[in-house]
């Protein structure tokens, strides 16, 4: 074996050779073209970007300048997108307005240090019909400036096939913080706060993922997944934290919800922590095949978890609900709302007062259920009025209520005994500390029987009541 080959095995020799070669290459690159030795390696830092990006300072953007930099910002993103490169923003603040994001736009800032401030002359950022847009690592402050009528969000992406929003902060929008219209992709690890409408508004989505975000302190809603007409949606809303959502626009449930699913089918809402919402933590309206699982709903102002109006198919399972005027409501059989499994939820510490004067059955109810449903393995504690409201007038059909525990509540189960009410099975449940009765019959909101757990169903042939335990 030769001496040279022995030397290449020595790490100190290898490092010295590498440094010598690199120094020679750099020296050759710095020589004028006429002075470079034959065979010297070309190395031009104007053409080789080790980060694969485009520095904003090289495009003329000046951090912390008082002037509006919209023109320079637009030119920089246009140039970067045309070249298929990333626009990398340095730390500092930049005042911008009316930025149109071209197809392929990728903007990355320094998290917690790069701040864009909306100047208030139309829109913040708008993309239309792009295949892919990426925004990451910077704060966009709407400064509560008015948005033009052609957009609803401070960042408004319309018809973007693959929108990627990651590690962003969006604050102070006069409308929605982020609007995704007829778009797909993902929104993750971002914080949206202080929106005048809702934090995130996704409408007509295409298999969107909304995960691991924090949406807080918004005037009328947290995360909204809507469609203009009922149809397939497929959005996944998972592991988000939503807190302190108000209802400044008023109403009886259209505003003030942490997570609101409207007309969107086949949506999953799972693993979210939702607290201090004026109305519902999670509200699904006309949303078929909805899954609401393993969420925490804390201190809701009205019904904590809602599946309502014309839906078919709802799985509401393994949620923890602490505080609210109603725990879970699966309602509106009169509108076609049916087919549900309500299993393994814990519901506690409810109130008999809501955000508006009590209507119909009122507040203080653990679970309200009406049609084609299996209700099992739930634990309800502290429902001031009724642990469960089963049916409403004639709107009761095929409800199986088995293996649940209700304690420290006014009454256990209030079941409809109105003419025309359908079949209900109430069996193998545990009732403890229910002074107004374990199972009582109701005509709408009025209790009209004694405790059916003691006397049996009697003349109410649509009811089967058996093997319940009253402590």
Q: By three-state DSSP, how is residue 399 classified?
A: strand
Predicted confidence (pLDDT) at residue 51 exceeds the cutoff of 50: no
Same domain as 201, residue 59? yes
Query: Can you point out the beta strands (E) in 169-272?
Result: 169-171, 176-181, 185-188, 191-193, 198-203, 208-211, 214-218, 221-232, 236-238, 241-245, 257-265, 268-270
- Give the span between the Cα atoms of 143 and 175, in whole angstroms: 11
Predicted confidence (pLDDT) at residue 54 exceeds the cutoff of 90: no
Predicted confidence (pLDDT) at residue 41 exceeds the cutoff of 50: no
The model's pLDDT over 322-351, given as tens digits with 9 standing for 90+, comes to: 999 999 999 999 999 999 999 999 999 999
Tell me the DSSP string of 302-352. SEEEEEESS-EEEEEES-EEES-SEEEEE--GGGT-EEEEEES-EEE---S
93 token code pair: 């603040």
pLDDT value of residue 60: 85
Same domain as 330, residue 209? no
Same domain as 186, residue 92? yes
Smallest Cα–Cα separation from 387: which of 338, 430, 335? 430
> Is residue 261 a part of any domain in this protein?
no
Same domain as 298, residue 189? no
Contacts of 16 (CB under 8 A, 6+ apart): none
- Give the span between the Cα atoms of 89 and 369, in whole angstroms: 53
Domain that holds residue 414: 291-471
- Which domain-ending residue is among 202, 219, 236? 219
> Is residue 143 a part of any domain in this protein?
yes
Q: Could you give the percent of the chain with pLDDT greater than 90?
A: 86
Residue whose tokens read 């199986």:
400
Same domain as 295, residue 215? no
> Is residue 6 a part of any domain in this protein?
no
Predicted confidence (pLDDT) at residue 199 exceeds the cutoff of 70: yes
pLDDT value of residue 56: 73
Give the bridge partners for 305, in sequence order: 282, 328
Asked if 158 contacts 125 with a C-beta cutoff of 8 angstroms, the reply is no
Asked if 448 contacts 442 with a C-beta cutoff of 8 angstroms, the reply is yes
- Give the span between the Cα atoms of 460 and 470, in whole angstroms: 21
> Is residue 419 a part of any domain in this protein?
yes
Same domain as 108, residue 200? yes
Burial class (CB within 10 angstroms; exposed 0-12, middle 13-18, buried 19+) of 105: buried
Question: How many domains in the chain?
Answer: 2
Q: In the structure, what pLDDT confidence band is assigned to residue 10 with cuts at 50, 70 and 90? A: very low
Q: Which of 15-29, 124-138, 224-238, 322-336 has the lowest mean pLDDT?
A: 15-29
The model's pLDDT over 260-304, given as tens digits with 9 standing for 90+, comes to: 999 999 999 999 999 999 999 999 999 999 999 999 999 999 999
Mean pLDDT of the chain: 91
Predicted confidence (pLDDT) at residue 37 exceeds the cutoff of 60: no
Mean pLDDT of the 23-35 span: 41
- Give the span between the Cα atoms of 300 and 320, in whole angstroms: 12
User: Is the pLDDT higher at 21 or at 415?
Assistant: 415
Mean pLDDT of the 167-181 span: 98
Distance from the Cα of residue 471 to its chain's centroid: 41
> Is residue 260 a part of any domain in this protein?
no
Same domain as 202, residue 331? no
Q: CA angle 456-462-466, nearest 5°?
A: 35
Distance from the Cα of residue 295 to its chain's centroid: 12
Asked if 131 contacts 104 with a C-beta cutoff of 8 angstroms, the reply is yes
Same domain as 447, residue 304? yes
207 token code pair: 């298999």
> Is residue 99 a part of any domain in this protein?
yes
Predicted confidence (pLDDT) at residue 31 exceeds the cutoff of 80: no
- Give the span between the Cα atoms of 386 and 437, in whole angstroms: 10
The model's pLDDT over 221-231, given as tens digits with 9 standing for 90+, comes to: 999 999 999 99
Predicted confidence (pLDDT) at residue 28 exceeds the cutoff of 50: no
Same domain as 164, residue 81? yes
- Which domain-ending residue is among 204, 219, 234? 219
Q: Which of 89-93, 99-103, 290-294, 357-361 has the lowest mean pLDDT?
A: 357-361
CATH code for position 163: 2.160.20.10
- Which domain-ending residue is among 219, 246, 278? 219
Burial class (CB within 10 angstroms; exposed 0-12, middle 13-18, buried 19+) of 232: middle
> Is residue 444 a part of any domain in this protein?
yes
Asked if 405 contacts 377 with a C-beta cutoff of 8 angstroms, the reply is no
> Is residue 19 a part of any domain in this protein?
no
Same domain as 329, residue 188? no
Q: Could you give the percent of the chain with pLDDT greater than 70?
A: 88
């Amino acid at each position: 074996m030769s001496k040279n080959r022995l030397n290449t095995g020595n790490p100190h020799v290898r490092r010295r050779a590498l440094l010598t070669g690199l120094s020679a290459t750099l020296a050759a690159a710095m020589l004028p073209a006429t002075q470079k030795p034959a065979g010297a390696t070309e190395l031009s830092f104007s053409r080789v970007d080790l980060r694969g990006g485009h520095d904003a300072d090289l495009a003329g953007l000046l951090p912390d300048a008082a002037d509006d930099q919209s023109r320079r910002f637009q030119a920089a993103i246009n140039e970067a997108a045309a070249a298929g490169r990333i626009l990398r923003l340095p730390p500092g603040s930049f005042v911008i307005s009316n930025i149109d994001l071209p197809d392929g736009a990728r903007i990355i800032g320094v998290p917690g240090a790069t701040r864009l401030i909306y100047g208030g002359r139309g829109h913040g950022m708008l993309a239309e019909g792009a295949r892919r847009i990426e925004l990451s690592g910077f704060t966009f402050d709407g400064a509560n400036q008015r948005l033009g009528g052609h957009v609803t969000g401070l960042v408004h992406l319309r018809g973007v096939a693959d929108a990627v929003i990651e590690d962003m902060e969006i604050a102070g929008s006069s409308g929605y913080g982020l609007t995704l219209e007829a778009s797909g992709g993902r929104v993750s690890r971002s914080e949206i706060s202080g929106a005048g409408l809702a934090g995130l508004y996704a409408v007509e989505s295409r298999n969107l993922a909304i995960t691991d975000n924090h949406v807080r302190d918004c005037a009328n809603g947290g995360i909204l997944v809507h469609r203009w007409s009922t149809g397939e949606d497929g959005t996944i809303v998972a592991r988000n934290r939503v807190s302190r959502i108000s209802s400044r626009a008023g109403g009886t449930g259209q505003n003030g919800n942490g997570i609101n699913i409207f007309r969107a089918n086949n949506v999953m809402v799972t693993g979210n922590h939702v607290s201090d919402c004026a109305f519902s933590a999670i509200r699904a309206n006309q949303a078929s095949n909805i899954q609401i699982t393993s969420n925490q709903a804390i201190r809701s102002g009205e019904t904590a978890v809602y599946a309502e109006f014309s839906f078919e198919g709802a799985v509401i399972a393994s949620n923890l609900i602490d505080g609210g005027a109603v725990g879970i409501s699966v309602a509106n059989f009169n509108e076609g709302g049916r087919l549900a499994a309500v299993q393994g939820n814990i519901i506690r510490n409810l109130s008999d007062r809501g955000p508006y004067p009590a209507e119909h059955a009122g507040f203080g109810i653990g679970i309200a259920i009406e049609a084609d449903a299996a209700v099992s393995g739930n634990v309800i504690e502290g429902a001031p009025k009724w642990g469960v409201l089963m049916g409403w007038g004639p709107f009761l059909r095929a409800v199986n209520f088995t293996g649940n525990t209700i304690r420290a509540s006014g009454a256990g189960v209030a079941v409809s005994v109105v003419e025309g009410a359908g079949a209900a099975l109430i069996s193998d449940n545990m009732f403890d500390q229910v002074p107004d009765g374990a199972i009582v019959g109701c005509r709408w909101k009025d209790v009209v029987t004694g405790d059916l757990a003691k006397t049996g169903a009697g003349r109410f042939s649509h009811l089967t009541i058996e093997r319940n335990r009253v402590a």
